[in-house]
Amino acid sequence: DGGITQSPKYLFRKEGQNVTLSCEQNLNHDAMYWYRQDPGQGLRLIYYSQIVNDFQKGDIAEGYSVSREKKESFPLTVTSAQKNPTAFYLCASTQGYYNEQFFGPGTRLTVL
């Protein structure tokens, strides 16, 4: 079955540690996105990539980094520079002219 996988589902890290969240898709979509959700808020765009080896900052990119070495994979690193990293992180990919988004199951990151 085609889809988007994110791992792990829950992640705990100590303050000051970098952590990498995985996102893989087998939908053959060109564009991939990372969003963050905080309680009571919608999805805020962290980074997106429309093609391999290229990516752009979203609205809240500070403290995050990404890579896009393969079409299928778009990992997100939460660095120690991110002031408040505890949140729910969603990865998505898009198809079609109007950017309909397909989402993964999400990773809940808790920094202790």
Partner 1 sequence: ILNVEQSPQSLHVQEGDSTNFTCSFPSSNFYALHWYRWETAKSPEALFVMTLNGDEKKKGRISATLNTKEGYSYLYIKGSQPEDSATYLCAFCPAGKSTFGDGTTLTVKP
Per DSSP, the residues of 20-57 read: EEEEEE-S--SEEEEEEE-TT--EEEEEEEEETTEEEE
Q: Which residues contact partner 1 by CB under 8 A?
A: 4, 31, 33, 35, 40-45, 48, 50, 56, 58-59, 90, 96, 98-106
9: phi then psi, degrees, rounded to nearest 5: -75, -40
Q: Which is nearer to partner 1, 17 or 105 (CB)?
A: 105
CB of 43 to partner 1, least distance (A): 4
CA gap 74, 66 in Å, rounded:
7
Q: Could you tell me the smallest distance in angstroms from the CB atom of residue 41 to partner 1?
A: 6
Instruction: Give 17 or 51: the residue with its C-beta nearer to partner 1.
Output: 51
